[in-house]
A and B are shown apart, each in its own frame.
Chain A
């Protein structure tokens, strides 16, 4: 009697399964047999407790076995169905699709971020400062007295409404601020905008970006400057970059140091890229001037430090193949 009923269920299931395999509707099939409220097997299982011990003993294992079999068959049929879908001849994985695009970071900010990451590994903090500056921080504390040629009105953009306010002409103004506001040891880098009173053309602009590093501590020497710059240039160019260190005057440092890289286009033989020098000037640096430390409230007899700075735009333009600085900052670059 019971056996017969189970056989019937099996037969019906086989037919139902065939239908399901036709149209892929396995959820309905599953519910027909296993729904918690009306599933055929579920109902039988629910009846079990009402039966006699003998019947329970007989039917129980059989029902469980059937349940297991049917579930396995549904699973296996599902897999076959899925396989069929996967084998759809219309699918050709070799057809390239248009790229799902993200946005793009501005090239200059990419370069600044790359540099910042490098320096943070070496224990530098990334700092910032105002673009509207005072003569005090932009010139005086950097050992640029009033009569110094670099402080000429012609080169600096001054603010009308206030005396002595200007647009910073270099990121060194932030160096002056950090040295004034923090106690050594100091290890910082800064990348940002600077301004000069220039007419724009392909390679010059009234605003540009600079990158600067400053280290002050007891026992800092020009040897540490050299080592830091060597590592930095390996990041910017490559492991085998060849550098030349030479004396160069900058008002805010003494001794000053110019750094050149052997021209990678002509390998030092001289070409139009390096203006036939064989070397390309990359940055300026030096030991922070005694007077600068003093004016910023750091005792130059106890602490020494170095600073380096470079223009970023030329580097960015070279790296990204951009020839006109006005396009780099005027929306004339677009990203694919």
Chain B
């Protein structure tokens, strides 16, 4: 039982840089011992863990087969490539990068088409008029089929596309597309528009666990350690530390602050001298600082947090619940 714990991360491009930065911030430094071209690596100071550098679609495939324990990949690929994905993998957490939407886009010239209901009608009319079906170019065959089916659309054909999908309508190989978009600029440049209710999936890079991988004691221990660091880092990013010395009668005031500014009180209420440490969401910091001074605080300091290690480990809890379910 000395098989390593395997985590698969993207090998190339922006996704790789973002993933490496993400793990590094959590104190999990990905190392390629034999140089940058190496496709196998380790994590500094964490024995028994193997890092596999692969393409996002390979990672998704291996997750579906349970050949790796953890992987970093887009939710779009998970939903497209793994049939009945939720029975095979657990989406542990969105990582805050690799944002993209999978959308239905039609030519801008179709001024009569705004909704999927319009598209349904156009598809049937097109089939009756031309005696063939509307063609949808996409690499998301399963997502497209399920989404169109949910909207009752039957008069269409899928044309599998492996690249430059947005060019298909202009090239005459399809009438419309289902593709991934971040800003919509590529679609606009190709005279396409997104249908109002045509967003199939809002995707981002996810940390994904394979249900069918081997999860023994040691794998769970490794996962717990990694997820503990990732959770601590995530919590550190989600809050600012606010310190202040309060005037009298602070208990009621703190309760008020918790309600109004979504503040947490990690170390309990103020000390006898009135000192208190608060964790506050970044967006509420200024409002909280004003509030505390109005309530009599002399000075308020705000600092970034590196990590917040709490007793609970929500990410590991999610993994455990998923593996049990």
Partners in one complex: no
